[in-house]
Structure 1
């Protein structure tokens, strides 16, 4: 797989206003240099697909893998965001899923982002927008239709995806958000972790998620001077009528319960944005949930209904 490295002067963090977000996207477009010119090739085993790794920023983890069919057609896009408690994980975990969507004919952007040990929230949301801005700028190169894409996130990545979907009053071209075990409400996760006293894997993971949310907020508890960053992290509080429709999937007994997504469905429902929640039996979380029989097919069908 060849690598094209190009610089970007993206802003360090999106402000909490749509106007600032738009300005940041424009700035990133203006500052990002073109990738190194090359003729798309078919790396061994890609079966007609092209792929490369590019940078959308100059900091650690600000990079993404792009997979596309170099036939000159404009294709819908799928942005994938890995999980890992916001503090770990890597896009390489998503390679198999990336390939599956590229094989379906989409242009796929499998992104890394700054982890919580490198930068506190909202750096992770900023990075997702940086990846989207870079994809827009080089849409022709990657056979990408910037007016037609979805964002798919897993666990902590589901939180980032949903935060993108509810940012401002709609993101141009974003037609849907999918979350696999998404952490919709870090505040709910904080409370659940505080109440978890047992020694089952689920209870242990609830406590671990509480600690991870605190790290994401820069080490601050959700009170006092840190209340603003926690408010920014809380996806349901940002619902607005032009937000993207969402498909949110959980296992019934996992440590990120369906009640997390029910909070967002209630808020988006009040402004007329459709949210579908699918609950599977068991305790599977994130990627293992996606691999359960019929789940990937359900997600793929939902995406196809929105972007073709």
Structure 2
């Protein structure tokens, strides 16, 4: 089944669905921008989407269909950009995500968004960024949880694996692990997660190029769900059984 078709999976959530096709507004925060699909009325729980792309490419347009899906499920949706590694080294990507959340919370009334009920949802490299933002210091206020698909939660493992993923991790850090170990430690999600971290659920395919071993060190602070196959990132979310269980989990924490 294609990803577009998978978005049609029907899931019962804990709050009424918004009308389909909400208007998208582009807003700027810092040097970046995000697409906002505001709640239809009242104060809706929020979803912040963080795109993938090796930390070095892509933008929010990659998740436009996902944003529409979550808006139709009744969320206020914030589909954000962040500085890519070619323009800024780590932790710029994490910091941009935190700025997007702070901006949305400051303007919650405008976006009909409940600033005390939201989740970060990331894909591949975006999953790493979302999880890193959640475990940075005490995490942003109001965060209910993190959902990630194929998150590169361990750039060290990416480096060890080599290939494009390893080169991308080096480009993100701006140096190899022996040259700047403190930067690499700051990028490791497991090095900062603990009992006070928000709930996190990470999905990996058993045989994808970002294997479950990236996220397993986060147990017991995160739930790692491994499914058969090789699907990665949005393709993994596009599997109906994965979409259903992920969306049910989000509804349960809101």
**Structure 2 length normalisation: TM-score?**
0.90
Q: Deviations over 1:148-189 (max 9, x none)?
A: 100000000000011011111343111110110000110111
Deviations 1:225-255 (A, max 9, x none): x111111111110113221111100110111
Flag structure 1 segments of 5+ consecutive residues without an equivalent.
Answer: 1-45, 194-206
Match of 2:193 among 229, 239, 254: 239
Match of 2:246 in 1: 299
Larger Rg: 1
Judged with a 3 Å threshold, the aligned counterparts in structure 2 of structure 1 residues 293 and 49 are, in CA distance, closer, same or farther, namely closer
Which deviations, in whole Å up to 9, do the C-alpha atoms of 1:163-217 show, x marking residues without a partner?
0111113431111101100001101111122xxxxxxxxxxxxx11000000000
SS of 2:108 mapped into structure 1 = coil
Deviation at 1:296, TM superposition (A): 1.1
CA contact (8 A) 2:39 2:113 kept: no
Confirm or deny that 1:214 pairs with 2:133.
Answer: no
- The CA distance in 1 between the partners of 2:240 and 2:49, in whole Å, is 20
For residues 47 and 235 of structure 1, the distance between their equivalents in structure 2, rounded to whole angstroms, comes to: 36
Separation (CA, whole Å) in 1 of partners of 2:211 and 2:33:
31
Gaps of 5+ in 2: 1-18
C-alpha deviation, 1:48, in angstroms:
6.2
1:284, 1:65 → 2: CA distance?
26
Give me the whole-angstrom Cα distance separating, in 2, the residues matched to 1:151 and 1:111.
Answer: 11
- When the two chains are superposed, the root-mean-square deviation of aligned CA atoms in Å is 1.2
Matched, 1:152 2:121: yes
| Rounded Cα–Cα distance in structure 1 between residues aligned with 2:138 and 2:54 | 27
**Does the alignment pair 1:264 with 2:221?**
no
- Verify: 1:53 aligned to 2:26, yes or no: yes
Identify the structure with bigger relative contact order (alpha carbons < 8 Å, sequence gap 6+): 2
